[in-house]
Structure 1
């Protein structure tokens, strides 16, 4: 049941309704549950007192101008598929939902770009691009809910980063509404545009703290003619890296995904009504996908590559058809949802250089085991881009020692010169640990940018950086 709305927020309802229409301002019991918590859940569950749903970028700007005049805090929401509670609202905040900004511009295959509203889901944009023989280079497991605005605001990664790069690499131009209600067109869709500062880069990955992305023009890619893959078992990270190096060298430019799953994480699939690519019991599993344009030669090239490093492979299965490749991905994509059943657990999305990853995980396991002898460390991720997901199950039936787990995991990551956030941002959840990855000078510059673009601090207050008299316990 939604908690009583704060009177300070309620006093803006009529004015907001004049901007977007009364039916697009939700209050109290009208607010759907999806507005109060991340899709994956977390310790933080919010209160959505007022939700406003603008239908155009101009309405977004007017809503922000109204809120700025009254110093009314605003939290921006997309598909709520994050992991760091960045969109989870407090009772004193107006929720600005981008869900109605769902228009998709015309796609010209010769130019291979598309302009999409912030509320367009990644899946819908992928479908539209496919009708023109093109692909959106970004791909996420949550693509049915994740929005383009959210992907830009968090600089989303996903499974194709090893081949295509992060969201940042595909953004040609942005439309952004600032906290004071100014609506800006940042950069142009041109491939080459070096006219002054590239201001759009400030907003990519800023998690809605500097402005609200209302639309983005993205570069598309030609759809591949072939997709094939291999599911392998190897002895350790070194073996996985040898496989990665061989594929990159022998099939240049073709590798689009390189997923690695450690034994404990693969074991969560045991007993499910699911076809497993390989049996249980191997130390490390690898799923590699390659894409190309030569239907017969590409498959032969992959087989030749595997033969050249046969000494590294404990077992392997090659996908000769799209259906077989889908089996590989079904196993990989099922792992997160099965791990989430192991509550209470503590989930982490971090980056560590592949060359340092094995030592980092060993230190992490040792430090966790000292405090929780029954601890389980379930690891999987995108090794080709240094990103791994770590689930820690301590064996306790409480989350009271969450901070202890976080200090150990982030401490090990920091000592390995890694990043506490690979692809989900900072939000509320990781804010106390930002200093593990960013220097005091960097954080001070971030605060200066925030003060310049949002002097009243109304946008996503308290996310990423402290605000006002807030302090962090870390």
Structure 2
């Protein structure tokens, strides 16, 4: 047994440190069921125990990888046999909820869904929402600056955070647990933890913002014949719903057709339309909001902006519509799939999406290029399925990322860089920006022990 493992067991106890064959009993991630590889898995219960673990690892020059809900898509939390995993799965307490002040204090291992449900019990809304809500954790959301379906109204995870506590590479605890929106007393250090993918510290506790729980919720699935109609409907709804539009999800026919094929979800509309929009507005007056929402859809139908639409009449019907957009496992099953998450100006999105599709089918004529996304915040997702033995991931990457250069886009809208996108970071950040990132890393983690090799290399 290595000395670092012995020291971790002495400090935290045998039950908190998995090593040997017990490590391989865990799956690598949500996307990869193969056995975990790591020197050990440490499962602390408190910030103090995280601090002890990192102090020991720092003393032994031991690299550490942080894990949350393991739903990340860029291999940022996948460890090697020479790395120790610090898993925050046991730090899952919701410590307090303050409906008056509009905040909640939670440990980093709390799942997004658990926080959402706890907030609702106090007639509050935690505004971040992702399809992986049942598995992803608040600490992971902070580390990746998660986005999701409500960004257009409430902003990214960064906008939901009032304060946080984190442990630095040498075990030092940095506590900035503000419960107020305004604190201009010097540098706001919490922002150096948000979106840095665990490379500067391990987030252990977070104070998040809560909002009043909306009383009304109106949803529709609409079919459209052009991307121009998609953007026109977005403009109309943002204007006429007066800030209550909370979700605007666009599905190209490639996505909708795959989601509703036999064995998938029932299709409430014809499957032949070029575009489908799932939109949702949340307000304060159930009857007036519902009437106004329906009137706006009728006007869009009459003007030809949309050609067909369905409005759910129950929560089960609303859930069925969202299942089409969020539950896509069936279209991935049994196929080699490369997942992408990019952002770019809305005005360039239709041309970009078509350019990528043409590049993919030129390389693999039988490929599926499945496109969908949040759109209103400039975020497009793609599933590339080569349907070929010549499934070259790098060739797919080039087809997706190269056209971004011409439109000022980013190779990562919300998933982060991790290991998978390191080679493409320079497509979205200048040499000066990347070198400043490295400078921060050297200052805060001079031994390069926290998530080493993620985002960039030193």
TM-score by length of 2: 0.96
Match of 2:360 in 1: 368
Is 1:325 matched up with 2:315?
no
Q: 1:362 to 1:351 in 2, by over 3 A?
A: same
Q: For 1:80 and 1:187, how far apart are their aligned partners in 2?
A: 25
Cα distance, 1:49 vs structure 2 = 2.4
Is 1:27 matched up with 2:33?
no
Which of 128, 152, 156 is equivalent to 2:146? 156
Cα distance, 1:434 vs structure 2 = 0.4
Cα distance, 1:187 vs structure 2 = 5.7
Is there any run of 5+ residues in structure 1 with no aligned partner, and where? 1-6, 468-474
The residue matched to 2:97 in structure 1 has which SS? Answer: coil
Whether the 8 Å CA contact 1:227–1:291 is kept in 2: the answer is yes
Whether the 8 Å CA contact 1:233–1:284 is kept in 2: the answer is yes
Cα distance, 1:307 vs structure 2 = 2.6
Q: For 2:221 and 2:183, how far apart are their aligned partners in 1?
A: 41
Cα distance, 1:41 vs structure 2 = 3.2
Cα distance, 1:32 vs structure 2 = 5.4
> How big is each residue's C-alpha offset from its partner over 1:171-219, in whole Å with a ceiling of 9 and x where there is no partner?
0001010001110112621111111111111110000000000000000
TM-score by length of 1: 0.93
Is 1:186 matched up with 2:176?
yes
Is 1:129 matched up with 2:122?
no
> How big is each residue's C-alpha offset from its partner over 1:32-80, in whole Å with a ceiling of 9 and x where there is no partner?
5445x231239x9851220011111011011111111111100000010
Is 1:438 matched up with 2:429?
yes
Match of 1:472 in 2: none
Q: For 1:441 and 1:458, how far apart are their aligned partners in 2?
A: 23
Whether the 8 Å CA contact 1:339–1:391 is kept in 2: the answer is no
Superposed CA RMSD: 1.6
In the comparison of the two structures, how many residue pairs are matched?
Answer: 455
Structure 1 residues 22-421: aligned runs within 5 Å: 22-31=14-23, 33-34=25-26, 37-41=28-32, 47-186=37-176, 188-268=178-258, 269-272=260-263, 274-310=265-301, 311-334=304-327, 336-399=328-391, 401-421=392-412
Whether the 8 Å CA contact 2:344–2:408 is kept in 1: the answer is yes
Whether the 8 Å CA contact 2:105–2:206 is kept in 1: the answer is yes
Cα distance, 1:305 vs structure 2 = 1.5
Whether the 8 Å CA contact 1:344–1:397 is kept in 2: the answer is no
Q: For 1:273 and 1:443, how far apart are their aligned partners in 2?
A: 43
> How big is each residue's C-alpha offset from its partner over 1:126-163, in whole Å with a ceiling of 9 and x where there is no partner?
12111111111111111111111000000011111122
Match of 2:453 in 1: 462
Q: For 1:262 and 1:91, how far apart are their aligned partners in 2?
A: 41
Q: For 1:273 and 1:365, how far apart are their aligned partners in 2?
A: 23
Q: For 2:451 and 2:36, how far apart are their aligned partners in 1?
A: 13
Match of 1:4 in 2: none
Cα distance, 1:410 vs structure 2 = 0.8
Whether the 8 Å CA contact 2:252–2:276 is kept in 1: the answer is yes
Whether the 8 Å CA contact 1:119–1:148 is kept in 2: the answer is yes
Q: 1:145 to 1:33 in 2, by over 3 A?
A: farther
Cα distance, 1:405 vs structure 2 = 1.0
Q: For 1:63 and 1:418, how far apart are their aligned partners in 2?
A: 39
Cα distance, 1:320 vs structure 2 = 3.6
